[in-house]
Structures are given as structure tokens and as C-alpha cells.
Amino acid sequence: MSTPLLYTKAIDEEQEKKLILREYRALLRALKQRLKKGDRKIVRRAFELAADAHKETRRKSGEPYILHPLAVARIVVEEIGLGVTSACCALMHDVVEDTEISLEDIAAEFGTNFARIIDGLTKISNVVDIKASASMQAENFRKILLTLAEDPRVILIKLADRLHNMRTLNSMSREKQLKIASETTYIFTPLAHRLGLYEIKTELEDLALKFTQPDVYLDIVRKLKETKRDRTRYINEFIKPVKEELGKQDIEFEIYGRPKSIHSIWNKMRTKHVSFNEVYDLFAIRVILNSPREREKEDCWKVYSIITNYYQPSPERLRDWLSMPKGNGYEALHTTVMGPGGRWVEVQIRTQRMNEIAEKGLAAHWKYKEGAHNESKLDAWLKHIGEVLNNPDTDTLDFVQDFKLDLFTEEIYVYTPKGDMRVLPKGATALDLAFDIHSELGARCIGAKINYRLMPISQELKSGDQVEIITSSKQKPSEDWLNFVVTAKGKSRIKYYLREEKRNIAEDGKEILYRKLDHMHVTPSVQNLNELCAYFKLPSPLDLYYGIAVGSIDLKPLKSFTVTGDRLFQPQKETKPEAKPVPHHEHEKEMTAKGAELIIFGESSDKILYKLAQCCQPIPGDDVFGFITSGEGLKVHRTDCPNAAQLMANYAHRIVKTKWAKNKEISFLTGVKLTGLDDVGIIQGITNVITGELHMNMRSISIDSKDGVFEGTIMVFVHDREELDELCRRLGNIKGITKVERIEASGE
């Protein structure tokens, strides 16, 4: 009876073997141009070792695990442009962590170079550990950056690993999808951006949106499909005269239209508060030239001239990254022109070399480097990572927040009096530049001459500024500096100096406390110091010493402490019953009921108390998750909340799966924003819909009119998302109202 089953299993195994072999051969084809004598043998051995190590393992989707490292190796070669060593390390990236094979085994068979890269990959393999604390998550992020500074191939392989995981995330549970997608947005997308991997960055953003906000993603995908024919027709109309003119020139070229990424369309809709149909730049025209290196700039500007002969450019939308490449190596000429039918169209002009750097980032950038002494801004940034990481900064959470600012921001270019150019994030101040040049220069900075005019250290810099830093030996960093410094290096150095200053002052407080404890015949043990910190509600003994030194902590309460043997115990406090707030009116009654309402979460029918996050004001029907706070219990956030990615990435262990319990008796406060023509009776029409037709409870209405156009905000109580959607639909049908939208989440 079991023979047919065995036969089916044998067929499945045979098909799987063929699939694995097909993927392996595809990898060899991708590596063909890079294979030197003996390389094929190394790749085969790496594949055999990985296949043998993972032979009993399967992925969540049910497929053999070896297909994952094979896919990662192909991404590393085909999409990032790395070679044989990186491909072999990608094949073996999980073997040390998941099997009994050690780094010593790898080093013995493949060499120390392979072992070092795999060691780096192993160290950062569990960037998201569900049980990890926030500080551990931050420490993991720090490890990622350390490996980036030591050998950038580690992080490039890790990005390929993350990209394949995101491509195959469908087989994971919803909870895991949210955590992994949020962490991708929080850590890996900014890294891909900073390393110039624009194609990978774009795909990661789109995939993260697909899993965090599936409705939004699918809606934009559907609308892009519906408008594809019109878009293609328009692109062809735009390209035709330009193509004819370029054909007459002595330039090899390729010209095509490319739709914007789903994430960038959604981002524009969200930030500009426009609908899909109002996003004017749904696509960009790209011109790729096959020009020799010495003629690249000349040919790009020639193409720009031809395009602007046909279409009027917008002067403020010209981006010249030919003369001044971005910090991640990106070079191109971008302009926005008025196309047929009065539509603005973005045009990107670059050469094949520039295009490869734009798509393959770091790897392509190194490939085209001219001479060993030509250090680029990207190389300088990698060196800068090392400097920041070597800083004795203990607060890793702060470090992550500060460093992330450096990853995504736009850049400005400023000059020293000697003509040296420095690249800083947009919004950087004179003090940021001082710290960028040297830590001690920043610590002693008292002002700056910007374009020969004396300015304060807080002065924001602009591209092209010439800046001379003025110092004084008497200057010391102050806490106020943290309010206007924006770079990670500047912030971390200021915090370091402040901590050193605090430690010096704390020494006096430490001496006072130790004398007091000695008088009480108590030793300053760890337990006793922790008892004192708990009593004074302080995070560490250093804060305790500092408070004593500056006089903010009085040691008189020590008299009421109990001494038992060598231990110190704080006095027992009398606990008073907590007064219950009494609601004053109907709305407060509604909100109290809502706050105390029970929701079902997880797979069981357990019920717990919860609060709704004020930053995004979720209502039933919204896609949500629960976050366990340290002081306020469970808080429910929308998955598109501005704080969601940070919470899920940094505090994954506090996220709980949450779903709405059906309850039509409870109301939830939400807001609607209206825009329209200021006409007689418009207010009456709005209130009729809300209170007359839908019988909703309205808390407030605010209307502001200017030059015949009004903008209004209405706060109403609804039972769920369906009611809110119905309200928006009916308000949109009122004559004169042009736009109705829910008030979107705002960061706290």
C-alpha cells in the first residue's frame, strides 16, 4: 500500500534535485566572466558543503533550504556585481550558525579571507531576535556597521540575504511579516540607499509596503496596471522628437520611460496629501549613453541641451550630480521639463558606467575607481563609520538613532579655507563641520566665519559655503549643543564629553556618599547602591553620585533606612488607594469605556486592557499591532503609524499580535480633513450628513476659508473603519467638496 507514496516521494526528490542543479548552473553562468583557473572548483566545493550541511533542512515554504543560499549567491553576483569569493561566502553564509561546521573548518579549506567574511555574517545573522531587548537590537545594528567598516562585502551579502527573505516572505506568519518588513525599513533600506544600491533599496521599500500595508500596496499596483496604456502612449509621444534628434548625433544611447516605485508613489500621496491621479511624476524618462569616460560630462550636457530645446525645463528642479556626485557615488543629471499636455516629466541622463554604479552601488564604484590614491566620498564615509564606532559611547540606542540620521538625509558640500571639500547631511551646522574635521576642534569651537562673515556655531550651512572654524582653549561642550547638532559623529562626541564631565563631578558626590555609608557601618556594595538608586528613582549609581555632588539629592532620608547586617533597605512606603477619575460629560464617558474595553489578541480568546496610541488613533478595521509599553500596558498602533517601523525593529520582543473584537457599542475618536469651495450652505450640508443621515456624534468642527476655498477638520466618534469610509464617501458627494481624507498619523 505504501509503494505509490514512496514513488511520489522519489519523484518529488528527483524534481527537487533537478531544481537545485538548475539554480547552481545559473549561478555558474552568472559567474562565467569572473571565473579564473581553479575558481570553478572552489565554487563547487562551497556549494557541496552548503548542500550537505542543509540537506535535512527546509524553509517555511517547504522547499529545500539550499535554494535560499543559492538565490542569495545569484543576487550577490547578478544584482550587486560581486565575484567568486562573495558568491562562495553567500552559499555558506548559514553553515556555521546552523550546523556543526566551524570557522576553523572554513579557514582550513577555503582560507582566512572566506572565514572572516562568514564570521561577520554569522555575527549579524540574528539582527531581529524576537526575545532581544532594545539595547541588544541596537548592539546588533552596531555589529552590522562594524562589519561594514571592516569588510563591506559582509553587509552586501547580508543585503542580498535580506532581499531574498523579503521576496519569499509570503510563507511566514503575519506577525513575522510585520517584524521583518519593519526592520527592513528601519535598518536595511537606509543602508542600501547609503551604499548606492538604488535598485535593491527600491525593491526592499516596495516589499516592506506590501507586507505592512497590503491594501495600500495592492491599490497602487491595480491603479498602475489600469493607467499603463495611457502612460505608455504619453512616454512614446514624449520620447519621439528627442529620439529623432539624438539619432543624428554621434552618441550611442538608450531612452525609455520607467514607472516610479510603488513606495515612492505612496510616499508622495502621503506627504503631499494628493490622490493617485494627482501624482504628476508617476514615471521618469531615462537616457543611458554609451560614452567614453573622457566625454561623459560633455555628452550628458549635450543631451540635456537637446531635451530642453523641445521641452521647457524647471530651473529649480535641475540636479547636477555630474560635477558633484552624491556621497554614495551616484552620478547623473536630473531635470524636470514641461512635456506634452502641460505635464511635468522628470528626465534622468547618465552613462552606462553611471547606470551600473546606480544599480550595483559599492561594488561597481570600486570597479571603476581610478588609481589607488583616488579616495572617493564613499570611501571617506566608510572610514568615518570606523571613527564613530570607535567612540567610547555606551548608549547604543542613542547611537542607532543618531547614526540613522546620516544614512538617509540629503547632502550639502562645504569648503574649508584651504579649499578642501567636506560632505555633510542637509541641516548640518558650523559645529557639525568642526566635529567632522576633528573631535577636539568641535569640542573647542566657539564660532565660525562663513563666507568671511562671523556666525554662531549653531548657524546652518548651505552647499557652497566656505567655513573657517574659530576655537578657544576655554570652550567646553554643553548640553544645549545637542539641540542643533545633526551628525552622528557630532552628537556622539558631545555626549561622550558630557559624560566625562559628569563623571568628574560625580567623583565628589561618590566621596560624600561613601563617607555617609561608612558612618552608618554599611559598605557601598552593588546591592546597596541599587537600593539607593531605586529609592531616588535613578537609573545608575553615576546619576546618584552626580545628584549628590550638585545638591539635587539630599541624603537626609538615609536616616529612615534599615540596616540589617551589611545590607541597606529602604523604608516601606504607605500605599494609598488610587482615586478613580469621574467622567464629567458624555464624551469622556465614551472615551473611558473605550479605554477600558477588552480586546481579543493572539490565537486564544484571552482579553486584556489596552489603550489606543494617540500618534495614529486606530479604529476597528485598521490593520494594527499591540505594543507592550513599560508604564501604560498594551498600546494599539496602526501598522502605517510613523512610529511603527522603529517600534517593531527595535522592540520586537514587545510586539503582540492584535485583532479587533466586534463591538458596536463602543465609539472611537477619529478625524476627517475636507477641502472645497466656500459656498453658502456648505457647513449645513456637512452637519446634515454627520448628525442627520449617519447619526454620528461629532466632537468638533473647524473651518478656515481663504479666497473662496475652505479647509476643514472634523473630529467624530465612529464604531469602525467601515463607518469612517462611508462618512468620507458621503461627504465627498456634497456639491462643492473636492477632497475628503482621514487625518493621517503623525509622529509623536
Cβ-based neighbour number of residue 486 at 10 Å: 19
CA angle 450/454/457 to nearest 5° reads: 75
Task: Tally Cβ neighbours within 10 Å of residue 8.
Answer: 10
Roughly how many angstroms between the first and final C-alpha of the chain, as a whole number? Answer: 65
Task: List 611's β-bridge partners, or say none.
Answer: 635
Q: How far apart are CA 667 and CA 141, in angstroms?
A: 41
Are the beta carbons of 305 and 245 closer than 8 angstroms? no
Phi, psi of 640 (to 5 degrees): -100, 15
Residue type present at position 591: M
Q: What is the DSSP string of 322-373?
A: TTS--TTS---EEEEEEEGGGEEEEEEEEEHHHHHHHHHHHHHHHHT--STT
Active site (catalytic) residues: 97-98
- Residues 172-178: contacts with CB within 8 Å, 24+ apart? 172/60, 174/657, 175/655, 175/657, 177/211, 178/211, 178/212, 178/625, 178/639, 178/648, 178/655
Provide the 10 A C-beta neighbour count for residue 528: 20
Q: Is the distance from CB of 690 to CB of 716 less than 8 angstroms?
A: yes
Element (H, E) at 607: strand 607-612
Residues with Cβ < 8 Å from 56, sequence gap 6 or more? none
Side-chain half-sphere of 17: how many Cα atoms within 13 Å?
A: 7
